[in-house]
Amino acid sequence: MTAVATTTDCRNDCAVQSDAADLSTIGPLTSVVGAAELVPLTSGDQIRYANFDYAASAPALTAVADAVAASVSQYASVHRGAGHLSQVTTRRYEQCRDTVRRFVRGRTDDTVVFTRNTTDAINLAAHCTPGDVVVLDIEHHANLLPWVSRDNGSARIVSACDTLEDTLAALDAELAAAPAALLAVTAASNVTGEVLPISRLASIAHRHGARILVDAAQLVAHRPVSIVSHGIDYLVFSGHKLYAPFGSGVLIGRSDWLDAADPYLAGGGASAQVSLVDGPDENCASTAWHSGAARHEAGSPNVLGAIAIAAACEAIVDLGFELIGLHEAELRARLDAGLAGVADVTPLRIFSDDLDRVGIAGFSVDGHTPRAVAEYLSDHHGIGVRDGKFCAHPLLARLGHTDGAVRASFGLGTDSADVDRLVTALTELTRIAPGKAHP
């Protein structure tokens, strides 16, 4: 892997890096689709795209795209057909549930529902949860809005404190003050990457008779999750943040609430028996609904999306979380050290504790709006970052960034040349007067 050329000025700045991190080159850990894609610069040149937006949506692993392509050739209707390929596809789809269950160490009797994404999965959970829910104010909107807008219980929002310990104590106090059905909490912040202690959160919930739902959208691709060992009742995540961008997500968890709730969508697949004569409702209709995953998967499912998720789970297990953790830690150390050397860059953190972080760095650049930074990085360096409020407006307000911030996030296809290019570009940007980044 060739490192990007650095300017003399940058080499001075990067001296900070060499104190803190080994500057030897680090390659991508595995192959992702589109890794060699070229993008245009305003200079008229082209450059390999440096994708720092994995937290929004990660590229497909080559292994995932291959698995989907192989399944497409045998694709046929799922659940309904007696034809050979319908049976193959149905079997494959149902096996995906077992692969997901193994990947997150689910209980054998947990229900695995394929959803559209994490947002959809949490809306399904909100539909099925009987009673109040406690949430922190640091959550992605996907883990806030479904709870505040329902009629089967209210949302009790707890403000995170400066330290994690105080935050855990505040959750404990809230759950002790009045019973709640559920604590719904993120496993890793989509703004700062800080990882929350799932087992401790689960113990707090369970001590007060509540269940726990873990939003693992930003965790499952980066750290091992065990429903059994961590004591998780419900776990949700998205395929597209797990290197499987084919339109599926997952809700896995205890079946009793799921089976007791009305189907999330009414329609074929969820219904076992439908009659339009002599039924109890005003149209004389009566419907018997399935239990299990089918109850909440009405309509034709996204089979290829589920196959993609299962393939991603298998590919990640093959790589191993030890190696994934090392790769991310090395790149994160390099990025942290590089950003620390850029005077005008201020990192975002929720907690003053020194927590484990996944490959997400939220930051602001003094004198430059987040949009100007993101446009400069794209237009002049071929780097894709996210700017804005990351669907976490209350958190950004808490952090004093009501105008948003910049987020650089990385993963398995990222290499040290990408990180160096980002640090070099930010260094150059901070030498340009605010407002002059687009000469």
Instruction: Give the interface with ligand PMP as residue ranges (CB under 6 A).
Output: 117-119, 140, 142-143, 186, 190, 215, 217-218, 238, 240, 391
User: Nearest to ligand PMP by Cβ — which residue?
Assistant: 190
Q: Is 277 exposed, middle or buried (0-12, 13-18, 19+ CB in 10 A)?
A: exposed
Q: Is 79 exposed, middle or buried (0-12, 13-18, 19+ CB in 10 A)?
A: middle
Integer CA distances (angstroms), 35 to 51, 68, 238, in order: 9, 18, 21
The reply to whether 96 belongs to the active site is no
Tokens, residue 167: 């935050």
Cβ distance to ligand PMP smaller for residue 117 or 302:
117
Return d(Cα 110, Cα 227) in angstroms, integer: 10
Cβ distance to ligand PMP smaller for residue 140 or 230:
140
To 10 degrees, what angle do helices 303-319 and 62-72 make?
140
Cβ distance to ligand PMP smaller for residue 181 or 185:
185
Q: Nearest distance from residue 415's CB to ligand PMP, in Å?
A: 23
Return d(Cα 373, Cα 386) in angstroms, integer: 10
Contacts of 375 (CB under 8 A, 6+ apart): 437, 438
Q: Are 377 and 385 in contact (CB under 8 A)?
A: yes
Cβ distance to ligand PMP smaller for residue 124 or 417:
124
Cβ distance to ligand PMP smaller for residue 392 or 437:
392
Tokens, residue 353: 């504790």
Question: How many Cα atoms within 13 Å fall on the side-chain side of residue 277?
Answer: 0
Return d(Cα 432, Cα 295) in angstroms, integer: 57
Return d(Cα 240, Cα 107) in angstroms, integer: 24
Cβ distance to ligand PMP smaller for residue 337 or 412:
412
Q: Nearest distance from residue 139's CB to ligand PMP, in Å?
A: 7
CA torsion sign for 353, 358, 360, 361 is: positive
Cβ distance to ligand PMP smaller for residue 215 or 233:
215
**From 10, 14, 128, 391, the catalytic residue:** 391
Return d(Cα 353, Cα 172) in angstroms, integer: 19
Which residue stretches of 288-415 are H helix? 303-319, 321-340, 370-381, 393-398
Q: Nearest distance from residue 144's CB to ligand PMP, in Å?
A: 10
Q: Nearest distance from residue 387's CB to ligand PMP, in Å?
A: 14
Cβ distance to ligand PMP smaller for residue 17 or 123:
123
Q: Are 118 and 244 in contact (CB under 8 A)?
A: no
Parallel, antiparallel, or unpaired for β 211-215 and 234-238? parallel
Q: Are 59 and 32 in contact (CB under 8 A)?
A: yes
DSSP of 267-311: STTTEEEEESSS-SSTTS-EEEEP-SGGGG--SS--HHHHHHHHH
Q: What is the 3-state secondary structure (H, E, C) of 157-218?
A: EECCCCCHHHHHHHHHHHHHHCCCCEEEEECECCCCCEECCHHHHHHHHHHCCCEEEEECCC
Cβ distance to ligand PMP smaller for residue 4 or 391:
391
Q: Nearest distance from residue 378's CB to ligand PMP, in Å?
A: 20
The residues annotated as belonging to the active site are 391
